[in-house]
Amino acid sequence: MQDLAGKTAFVTGGASGIGLALGRAFAEAGVNVMLADIEEATLALAVEDLEASGANVRGIACDVADAASVDAAAQATFSAFGNVHVVCNNAGVAAGANLDDISLESWRWVLDVNVMGVVHGVRAFLPHMRAHGEGGHIVNTASMAGLQSGAGFSPYAASKYAVVSMSEGLAKQLAPLGLGVSVLCPSFVRTRIGDSGRNRQDRYGPPVKPAPGSDAARVSTWIADQLNNGIDPAGLAARTLEAIRTNELYVFTHPDWYWEVDERFAAIEAAMAKWASR
């Protein structure tokens, strides 16, 4: 989609972080923007801020883990702007704990938001995008954690591997329809994902904080430091718009992490070669 001006974009997790940066970048490109988020007060401030810059923007409360909520947000977007051309399934959460202490509720929460949130977004908007025939693009936010196992046995890493896989498959299926797909795979970005428990829905129970002095607590502190020193979300948003215009599948922002991906691929190739030589 070379020309974005006058088109419409829907962005989940749009009240802050990467989502808000995407919304701002779209607005600057002349795109109508619907920001969707579960955090309503912060969402209202984000919409107010973008409106002050002259953007044609709306906000809608949305729980991406709830299919009906995403369907309602999609209908609100159609009512406000008509045809939707770009869908950013960006909302994401993380839950940390020791290996033996990751609750089933935390697994369900992370997978429902990070994985099913993408499924719900595609399900709600894809039939509409196919029907209007004006072209379009789906952007799914994954992570470098979806390409390498540095995060270990965790719901976050598992969810991001799933998002990468779904995006790759979706791209192949949608290409003949003139619809593009991009999957964002950044490392640390200056966002509040480390505090995503603030929006944890009651049905998943309260967030479990790691015990002081535990390995999980030390990892949590390290992650918080990395996030505070991460790249500006605006840079990732700019790369995303470039990827939409040039129909790039993979969007990377941290080339210094290549070695971890290369190490994993090398191990896979070695294992395949070992089997092939038998």
Q: Which residues are the active-site residues?
A: 156
HEC letters along the chain: CCCCCCCEEEEECCCCHHHHHHHHHHHHCCCEEEEEECCHHHHHHHHHHHHHCCCCEEEEECCCCCHHHHHHHHHHHHHHHCCCCEEEECCCCCCCCCHHHCCHHHHHHHHHHHHHHHHHHHHHHHHHHHHHCCCEEEEEECCHHHCCCCCCCCHHHHHHHHHHHHHHHHHHHHHHHCEEEEEEECCCECCCHHHHHHHCCHHHCCCCCCCCCCHHHHHHHHHHHHHHCCECHHHHHHHHHHHHHHCCCEEECCHHHHHHHHHHHHHHHHHHHHHHCC
